[in-house]
Structure 1
């Protein structure tokens, strides 16, 4: 069997839960973007080149208010700062991937990260293509949902207030599933406590980066204890 086809067949079942979420989330994003006067071409291009669910929802208001490069850059850093830590944890996973690595970095969303860090390619399946197709399929779902939502939004007219909450809802579902499946809840408790404390200390607009730093330091300090509990 062709190496790519074999990897695709192994990757596809793992992405089905993401498919259901991304189609709905992408549709919500497309509808929201269309409500601000942007066509399906904008939905497609932003989903291909930005491809950051939470930031894409934020970008709708940035586009509607008038684009300011410096502010947009700072806001992107604040909203997606967690990807800095995702990237660090994936260094060993992406080692030896070759030319696929830049795209794997681009396509590292929360849901893709969750699959990649918890999954190993089956025996006989090429690791590089396996990781590549998981990432690619997830992005295809998001782009498709965005275009679908934008097209639907041009025909359906309703109040879109609160529609961006679907992204928060997906995060909650992923959190609950990981809590149930994880034998050790210590990393989760560290993340929750650090986020709550930093939220109180720094406020809702500035707590993301400090909480990520605290989480990284805490996990590093308690690494041996965490690993021992996982055994």
Structure 2
């Protein structure tokens, strides 16, 4: 439901930037990537070249590569459904579906959740654009709505699966990337975070393997009755 006010904020921001209201549903259907849609307003109104638009889109949406590693896309059986599921993969859909137990997850539930999210966003953005065009609403501060939503999603994800060490590592990777490469902060932070998680998983697997080998090779103590 948070997509309704957030989409409305996007719609208002779009029309106050000089674009016609009908661009809101066009952006929402074809782009459908909240943060990139907000950035697309400035790119379109600023006359930015296609190469820069492509590069910006790559860096902003690069996080979806990592989302795909744990998103339950394989629950969807049809190829068309999976392609549509890829297009509708957003931060909110990921937060709603990837943190839930996977044993009871179905392809129908995955697609239904994503479609509802898309409809909420489309409805909110179009309504906000129409209201912004007719009422002349002020868009100052509305860009922060997206940041606020990410904060809420992080809090909810932590409540669903409390893991303080992982949260600290994520914040450390983000802080380091912001210092080392502020222009490509998101890509650097996510890459570093995945490398740390991969190393942690490898070390954990090696440790479990060593423990298993130790148990199988251990000589059982001779019982007193032997």
Aligned to 1:213: 191
1:33 is the counterpart of 2:11? no
Aligned to 1:49: 30
1:146 to 105, 110, 125: 125
The answer to whether the 8 Å contact 1:121/1:130 transfers is no
In the superposition, the TM-score normalised over structure 2's length comes to 0.83
TM-fit CA distance, 1:32:
0.7
What number of residue pairs does the alignment pair up? 205
1:109 is the counterpart of 2:90? yes
1:94 to 71, 74, 78: 74
TM-fit CA distance, 1:192:
0.9
1:79 to 60, 71, 74: 60
In the superposition, the TM-score normalised over structure 1's length comes to 0.81
Alpha-carbon distance in structure 1 between the residues aligned to 2:154 and 2:204: 18
Unaligned runs of 5+ in 2: 208-226
TM-fit CA distance, 1:122:
8.5
SS in 2 for 1:168: helix
1:185 is the counterpart of 2:164? yes
Aligned residues: CA RMSD: 2.2
Q: How does 1:127-138 map to 2 (within 5 A)?
A: 127-138=106-117
The answer to whether the 8 Å contact 2:3/2:124 transfers is yes
